[in-house]
Structure 1
Amino acid sequence: MIKTQITPLLLCLGASVWLGFSAPASAHDFWIAPGSYSAEIGETTDLSIMVGHPEDQNSWSISPHRVVSLRSVGPNGILDQQSLISGSDANDPMSLSFDSEGVHVLTIETTSAYSELEAEKFNDYLDEEGLTPIQIDRVSKRKISEPGTEIYSRRGKTIVNVGEPGDSDPSYVTSPLGLTLEVVPTTNPVRLQDGESLSAHIYYRGQAMPGVNVKLVSLDTNKGQVDSQKSDAEGKVSFPKPDTGDWMLHAIWSDPMEDTSRADYDTIFSSLSFSIN
């Protein structure tokens, strides 16, 4: 895949890093990419972990020591899927099949890595993303001229519909599954009708979290990010129903580190990938 202190100062840092290295001040998203968001019982589908932007994406080189958990949640309960990692090459898609009809949610959690950006690049990044709370935090600590350092980790979810999804959503689709930072849809996106909204709640350490920057990203076109919002007082975002295709809601949150000898911030990326019919 606990701190109980929720700090509303910080919205986002981790998009400045990728695969454990410092990077230019540009966002690099992270998501689970099934070969298809719809499958039949017993059908094998590819499963990749992607980073980058839809127009410049790369497969994340999976190694067991970087993965804390890889699970599927479905009609038969929670299944540990970490054996998929050891059974495939680090740069090749994993192969997964489903033995029950219904909605399946896959989740991944990674370990933390370290990143550092020089002050100018870090501050440019904050300007680019409009991350005023982090700027205020750095100013208040007189660190505006210092490099920005963080540890960062990833959380990803995807929804795969096997056979017919049924008449209603299972509770595990629209409820938190215990990820540190989690995007939870109010309904299975495959059910959305024209004129309805794509809505989700953002949870951080088990609590609905306001002020989190959430991006709506097209995954199968060159549009990339098409919209963004900050979660409201109830931790909710709501977008107009996207066009038919593959999509992602991507969120980032960061807290100041208690032990700043490691880094200034603890940053988490989280995503929910899905298909719209």
Structure 2
Amino acid sequence: MRKLAFLLAALGSAATLDAHDFWVQPQIFAAEVNAIVPVTIEVGHGPFRQRWSAALDRITKFAAIGPTGSVDRRADLKRPDGGPSDADMRFAAPGTYVIVLETTRAESVLPGIRFTDYITAEGIAPAVDLRARNKTTDTPGRELYSRRAKALVRVGTSTAPQPQVTRPVGMTLEIVPIRDPYALGSDMTLPVQILYEGHPLAGAFVKLNNLDFDARPVETHKTDAKGQATFTIPFRGLWQMNVVWTKPLTGNPKADFDTVFSSLTFGYPRPGATPGRG
């Protein structure tokens, strides 16, 4: 019974940690012009991965930034029980589109040990350092948290670099590719920059996940003084990067930290696939 209780507690803790991963996943990342691109909003990873089930009013922004600018796409969103996708999108012109999603804040309270495990695993230095300095690592972790996500969908067959891909979109916490992932050629090195409140963020823990096998990250790096980290995409597939950061709050009766989760997803057609079927 003791072993069972320990196992259930461990699984509960793991589920809580894994549920922090959040991203937008197009069913296809390479599409034909005017093809339907089903999109889901995902949370968790490995055995704890699932569709995000929050109400649509939690989403404050859902847009597509393409070669000619940004277009509000909130009308494409469905209710959480609206079928196999959370949005069905079409793109009327070739180019790479940056799908952008932002949410409102929600509240979270975790027991001290679980909160400490989570902020340590995610490398959230401001929370780790403050709780250690104040000797509050055993106290419950109270935070407000919100989500930011971007997904890159290539429409048409061009592999020319697209400036909107490497340009910040103004998120609180944002993963900005320094190179267009769809224009890497044979050099699959992908440098990124993390911006927090518009400034380069040093010391952030960035993870690269293979969405086909996402139980654990493929590669992890801490950002340098310029907020940059460089990854190698090992092979073709579906990829997600994520990063978490927080800032301490003072005088807030409900939370001690304001935390933001941010992700970037992109993917390449599997061997033999054609655009719109990859």
Query: Would you say same fold, with TM above 0.5?
Result: yes
Report the CA distance shift for 1:135/1:167 in structure 2 as closer, same or farther (over 3 A): closer
SS in 2 for 1:274: strand
1:248 maps to which residue? 240
CA distance in 1, matches of 2:124, 2:196: 18
Moved more, 202-211 or 85-94: 85-94
User: Aligned pairs, how many?
Assistant: 256
**Greater strand share, structure number:** 1
CA distance in 2, matches of 1:36, 1:132: 35
Determine whether 1:42 maps to 2:34: yes
CA contact (8 A) 2:122 2:244 kept: no
Q: What is the letter of the counterpart of residue 189 of structure 2? A: S
SS in 2 for 1:49: strand
CA distance in 1, matches of 2:83, 2:55: 9
Report the CA distance shift for 1:52/1:91 in structure 2 as closer, same or farther (over 3 A): farther
Deviation for aligned residue 1:24 = 5.2
- 1:102-138, Cα deviation, whole Å (9 max, x unpaired): 1111000001111111112222334444555533211
Deviation for aligned residue 1:174 = 0.3
CA distance in 2, matches of 1:121, 1:272: 26
Report the CA distance shift for 1:133/1:236 in structure 2 as closer, same or farther (over 3 A): same
Deviation for aligned residue 1:90 = 4.8
CA distance in 1, matches of 2:125, 2:243: 16
CA contact (8 A) 2:194 2:201 kept: yes
Aligned pair partner of 2:135 in 128, 133, 142: 142
SS in 1 for 2:18: coil
Aligned pair partner of 1:158 in 138, 151, 154: 151
Report the CA distance shift for 1:151/1:88 in structure 2 as closer, same or farther (over 3 A): closer
CA distance in 2, matches of 1:26, 1:152: 14
CA distance in 2, matches of 1:111, 1:92: 24
Determine whether 1:217 maps to 2:217: no
CA distance in 2, matches of 1:48, 1:270: 16
CA distance in 2, matches of 1:166, 1:189: 10
Determine whether 1:101 maps to 2:94: yes
Gaps of 5+ in 1: 1-21
Moved more, 192-201 or 252-261: 192-201
Moved more, 76-85 or 30-39: 76-85
Deviation for aligned residue 1:231 = 0.8
Moved more, 145-154 or 195-204: 195-204
CA contact (8 A) 1:152 1:267 kept: yes
Determine whether 1:234 maps to 2:235: no
CA distance in 1, matches of 2:53, 2:124: 30
RMSD of aligned alpha carbons: 2.3
1:7 maps to which residue? none
Report the CA distance shift for 1:123/1:54 in structure 2 as closer, same or farther (over 3 A): closer
SS in 2 for 1:173: coil
CA distance in 2, matches of 1:142, 1:223: 32
Aligned pair partner of 1:176 in 146, 168, 172: 168
Aligned pair partner of 1:79 in 68, 71, 80: 71
CA contact (8 A) 2:189 2:232 kept: yes
- 1:114-173, Cα deviation, whole Å (9 max, x unpaired): 111111222233444455553321132232231111010000000000002352322x21
Deviation for aligned residue 1:63 = 2.4
CA distance in 1, matches of 2:219, 2:153: 23
SS in 2 for 1:158: strand
SS in 1 for 2:131: helix
Q: What is the letter of the counterpart of residue 240 of structure 1? A: T
SS in 1 for 2:195: strand
